[in-house]
Amino acid sequence: MTYKNFTVETDEDGIALVTWDMPDKSMNVFTEEVMDELDAIVDQVAGDDAIKGAVLTSGKKDSFSGGADITMLKRMFDILQNEKAKDPQKATEMLFENAGRMSQLFRKLETCGKPWVSAINGTCMGGAFEVSLACHGRVAADSPAVKLALPEVKIGIFPGAGGTQRVPRLTNQQDALQMMTQGSNLKPSRAKAMGLIDEVVAPKKLIDAAKKMIRNGLDPVQPWDKKGFKLPGGAIYSAAGGNLWPAASAILRRETNMNYPGAAAILKCVYEGLQVPFDTGLKIEQRYFTQVLQTTEAGSMIRSLFVSLQELNKGARRPEGVKPTKFRKIGVLGAGFMGAGIAYVTAKAGIPVVLLDRDMESAEKGKKHSEDLVSKAMQKGRASEDDKQKLLSLITPTADYADLDGCDLIVEAVFEDSEVKKSATEQAEAVLKPSAVFASNTSTIPITGLAKNSKRPKNFIGIHFFSPVDKMMLVEIILGKRTGDKALAVAIDYVRAIRKTPIVVNDTRGFYVNRCVIRYMNEAHNMLIEGVPPAMIENAAKMAGMPVGPLALNDETAIDLSQKIMKQTIRDIGEKAVDPRHMELVNTMVDKHGRLGRKNGKGFYDYPAKPAKKHLWPDLKTLYPQQDADSIDFEELKQRLLVAIALEAARVMEEGIVTDPREADVGSILAFGFAPYTGGTLSYIDGMGVSNFVDLANRLRRKYGAQFKVPKLLKQMAENGETFYTRFDPYATMDQAA
């Protein structure tokens, strides 16, 4: 038989090598077609007496499979939504059957009577790792390319193709729960130590080692299918289980605040599934998977953190008809912390970069930042000496603008001052080729104004990185009024080349992300002024799903920077643009108490020397009369913080600053961690229902002030029964074109 996505070759020993190699795809993924073909291959192996066993491997270099296909998941949710409107019961039944398809296929493979071995040559995620767990043996290449994980919890669901049942039957329950609830990557050595991998061998010996397992008489019956099977580490109702499960439940609550149904379902599946026969455990898993798939959290997270994220990473907003850019040389102006970080991620992507500053000493210091980052990576085993030397060889420090000659792109990251930026722009453009694009990394100054310093405003654009550059995955690309398609295409090509996620925003003060972040911190300032205990503010934010409390975030960004931004805003727009109470609070912190934030070791928090941990400044609660904590509605505190941010995101959409809801959602999660379980700022509104959100915002406005004023856009959407993804449908133009 011949297959589109697989080849099957049987050697003289009767071992079938099943090679998964999807045409026209850089990575193998599970689709309906792939599952149909694998189903037929299982039948072929089981029904052919000449075949003694099978090895499943990948034909892709350094990649086994990334798991489920993006379009398959999207289509499943579309069908669910369409059928739910007609017949909710039927929709649930359809979802239940679809949810069990992959699990049933893998169960068929492991009970077919012939031994299967998974030969893992690279990235093996989600369903790909689950099919490997269903195989009777697993061999992984000893290579940095091999990453094993069940990361489904990160997109709102959980391993629903047998993962919650096989992992805790192969390893102890504590390690199994930790692996699945965190969705963390495992190296081959760690997976072997856990019992999830049988052998780790040199890449060239991978297939031979897998075949050898079959030749040596690999048992085609899984341990859990044999009489007398005992769980590694003990049963649920045992001394070990008695120590584990109460703690596991408490840790889940502490780490997730019960905002993630998928994470809670993992514990339920494991706890219930390990007390019954394996097939019953699979049925339990299938039921919970169907339940979780129907939650608002799962739908929103899958859309934003799986579907939309991949689409943006593939250049969804890139203008059509512009030739892709192959970068030969990039210039970075300014070798401070931001500029040095930009140079590092550029060189790490294999692109030569010229790092320019006012003198060679400053430029060399900027290059040293890259050396330090690579050295830290080497200490963690993530880089070699060769990697270090290769990266450093790509960075050329200089103080001479003439060295920028030949650059395809310039990223300006000099001091946040219009005159300094004007000088840098003019000197760089004097030596640039006509086709080169000039980008400013400004975080506060409108791009259209900076473009006036350029002789080629069509080639002038904003590329706003977040700090620290090497860790933050989002980049805002800002369009000036005269920015052309070519500049946008080049900017997106660059962001993709350095493996970050681009979102495109139109020009405004603070762009998109900073406008939302400022609202978050401002609402915390309001709470402080009202006398809400500081610890309640921070805890409310974390329990609402934010990774960092607003006071801690203000410390990270620097309180004196907040002061400068407020003063500049007053100069530019007028006194009414800034709440005088906020100005007074920040002035008190900076001018009276010298508390600038983390950078000087004291802000809203104190930062003692390690190993001591940061803690809230004890005197913070003395700045304003304190309310009785018992009289404060804690749930309302959580709502205030999220609603304040979401309202600003809605205003940004209303003003046309952001035009694609995918970018608003993904940007809010990647940039400042807006409660990921909501799917992002706009999905938070859509998930609640626009009408319900408007009612909530109106209640908060009556109680707390004009910051909760509902924009006209939301009122119209509530009246029309719209959502952001229907009113601003990112797929509408694609559907029309098709």
Whole-number pLDDT of residue 381: 82
pLDDT in tens, 137-164: 999 999 999 999 999 999 999 999 999 9
pLDDT digits (tens, 9 = 90+) for 555-575: 998 999 899 889 988 988 888
Q: Count of residues for the chain?
A: 738
**What's the pLDDT at 382?**
84
**Average confidence (pLDDT) over 194-206:** 97
Once rounded to an integer, what is the mean pLDDT over residues 9-35? 95
The CATH homologous superfamily for domain 330-509 is NAD(P)-binding Rossmann-like Domain (3.40.50.720)
State residue 733's pLDDT score: 59
Q: Which of 465, 478, 421, 444 minimizes the C-alpha distance to 564? A: 444
Amino acid at 623: L
> In Å, what is the CA distance from 665 to each residue of 674, 683, 687?
9, 7, 12
Q: What is the mean pLDDT of residues 381-400?
A: 94
Measured CA to CA, the distance from residue 245 to residue 648 in angstroms comes to 42
| Burial (CB count <10 Å: 0-12, 13-18, 19+), residue 336 | middle
Token digits for 306? 């799986």
- Boundaries of CATH 3.40.50.720 in the chain? 330-509
Q: What is the pTM of this model?
A: 0.92
- pLDDT grade for 89, boundaries at 50, 70 and 90: confident
More confident residue, 573 or 715: 715
Question: What average pLDDT score do residues 382-404 get?
Answer: 95
pLDDT at 203 over 80: yes
* Distance (Å, whole) CA 450 – CA 425: 9
The answer, yes or no, to whether residue 734 has pLDDT greater than 60, is no
Judge: domain 6-294, CATH 3.90.226.10. Answer: yes
Asked if 210 and 15 count as a contact pair (C-beta separation under 8 A), the reply is no
Mean pLDDT along residues 602-625? 94
Nearest residue to 13 via CA among 237, 248, 187, 218: 218
Count how many Cα atoms sit within 13 Å of the Cα of residue 63 in the half-sphere of its side chain.
Answer: 12
E strand or H helix that includes residue 65: strand 63-65
pLDDT reported for residue 736 = 43
Q: Which residue has the higher pLDDT, 636 or 24?
A: 636
Classify domain 514-727 by CATH number.
Answer: 1.10.1040.50
User: Mean of the per-residue pLDDT values for the chain?
Assistant: 94
637-650 pLDDT per residue, tens: 999 999 999 999 99
Residue range(s) in the chain whose domain bears CATH number 1.10.1040.50: 514-727
Confidence class of residue 737 from pLDDT cuts 50, 70 and 90?
Answer: very low
Inform me whether the pLDDT recorded for 97 exceeds 50. Answer: yes
Nearest-angstrom CA–CA distance, 254 and 707: 31
Which residues are registered as beta bridge partners of 438?
A: 410, 460
Mean pLDDT score, 192-204: 96
pLDDT at residue 83 in the model: 78
Question: Which regions of the chain carry the CATH code 3.90.226.10?
Answer: 6-294
Q: Which stretch of 67-76, 411-420, 577-586, 709-718 has the lowest confidence by average pLDDT?
A: 67-76
pLDDT level of residue 706 (50, 70, 90 thresholds): very high
Q: What are phi and psi of 418, to 5 degrees?
A: -60, -40
Given 136, 464, 525, 582, which residue is catalytic? 464
pLDDT mean over 97-117: 95
Q: Cα separation of 399 and 395, whole Å? A: 13
pLDDT value at position 571? 87
CB 475 within 8 A of CB 464: yes
Instruction: Flag whether pLDDT at 601 surpasses 90.
Output: yes
Residue 464 designated active-site: yes
Mean pLDDT of all residues in 496-506: 96
pLDDT recorded at residue 735: 47
pLDDT in tens, 248-292: 999 999 999 999 999 999 999 999 999 999 999 999 999 999 999
At residue 94, the pLDDT reads 84
Q: Tens digits of per-residue pLDDT, 404-426? A: 999 999 999 998 788 899 999 99
- Of 88-92, 176-180, 651-655, which range is least confident? 88-92
Beta strand pairing status for 116-120 and 437-440? unpaired
Conformational region of residue 156, where left means phi above 0, alpha means psi within -120 to 50, and beta covers everything else:
left
Which residue would you say has higher pLDDT here, 308 or 735? Answer: 308
Mean pLDDT for the stretch of residues 657-669: 97
Asked whether 723 and 687 are in contact (CB, 8 A), the reply is no
Q: In the numeric block, which tokens belong to residue 420?
A: 């300094």
Confidence at residue 78, expressed as pLDDT on a 0 to 100 scale: 73
